[in-house]
Amino acid sequence: MPGWMPWRGAGRCGRAVTPDLSALLAAARGLVPAGCALGVADPRADWPAFPGETVRGVPKRIAEFRAGREAARAALAELGLPARPLPAGPDRAPIWPLGVAGSITHSERLCLAVAGRFRAMGVDLEPAIALPAELRDSVLVPEEAEATDHEAKLIFSAKEAVYKAQYGLTRQMLGFDSVAVTIAPGQFSARFRQDVGVIPAGRVISGRWTDVSGHFLTLVCL
């Protein structure tokens, strides 16, 4: 796209970054390991289509897709990679450049992408509100039963980040009962309760979390 110049870790040149996006970017910087790049975008903005990317659906779905790709290209720019299409594969996951792992997450007003030369990555962003009581039984396993409703929402987000990361290795879909999450200040661990591809039952994956702009932000890098 002629004239396209990324903001470092933000969006396109000339696009305002909201205070919430700036806070999200700063918070994410505090979670990621060295070598991990970041980008943010506002999913409410009218991002133009990028050549080579196709998405169908309602306007909200299209806006979220384009914001996610915008954030992803900003992250790739931090890695020194040129702007390029990031089409969805048959499984609807983004096709990242060879040798790069990445993950994209969004809420109604925030979008974040992470990328780096890792085996797999997973990031999730969820409003920091209580998990609805009717969802507890489907999200929590017995080891997590004592969690408060707000802790349960954080566990939900941690599982989403773990599932995204493991998918990069196994290409398998999981249920919420596949892992048991233990939350600690600023970090969490997820123990696999069953074999999942190359990941054996009992393996523990560590992640990090924070709360920012009214959201839980969780991250796993493998």
Residue type, 53: E
Tens of pLDDT, residue by residue over 59-77, are 999 999 999 999 999 999 9
Provide the pairing of β-strand 101-106 with 111-116. antiparallel
The CATH 3.90.470 portion of the chain extends over 19-118, 124-221
Instruction: Check residue 15 and give its pLDDT.
Output: 58
Paired residues of 217 in beta bridges: 125, 210
168-177 residue pLDDT tens: 999 999 999 9
- Is residue 98 within 8 Å of 76, Cβ to Cβ? no
Q: Are 65 and 50 in contact (CB under 8 A)?
A: no
Euclidean distance between the first and final Cα of the chain, in Å? 33
Confidence band, pLDDT 50/70/90 cuts, at residue 134:
very high
For the chain, give the number of residues: 222
Confidence bin at 17 (pLDDT 50/70/90): confident
- Residue 74 backbone dihedrals phi, psi, to 5 degrees: -65, -40
Would you say residue 11 has pLDDT above 50? no
Q: What CATH architecture applies to the domain 124-221?
A: Alpha-Beta Complex (3.90)
Q: Which of 165, 52, 34 is nearest to 101 (CA)?
A: 165
Using the predicted structure, report yes or no on whether residue 9 has a pLDDT greater than 90.
no
| 154 has pLDDT over 50 | yes
- Residue 185 to residues 56, 95, 163, 173, Cα–Cα distance (Å): 40, 33, 21, 28
Taking 80 as the threshold, does the pLDDT of residue 7 lie above it? no
pLDDT in tens, 81-121: 999 999 999 999 999 999 999 999 999 999 999 999 999 99
CATH of span 19-118:
3.90.470
User: How far from the centroid of its chain's Cα atoms is residue 206's Cα?
Assistant: 15
Identify the pLDDT of residue 1.
Answer: 27
- The reported pLDDT for the residue numbered 217 is 98
Lookup: tokens for 16: 């305002």
**Pairing, β 36-41 against β 101-106:** unpaired
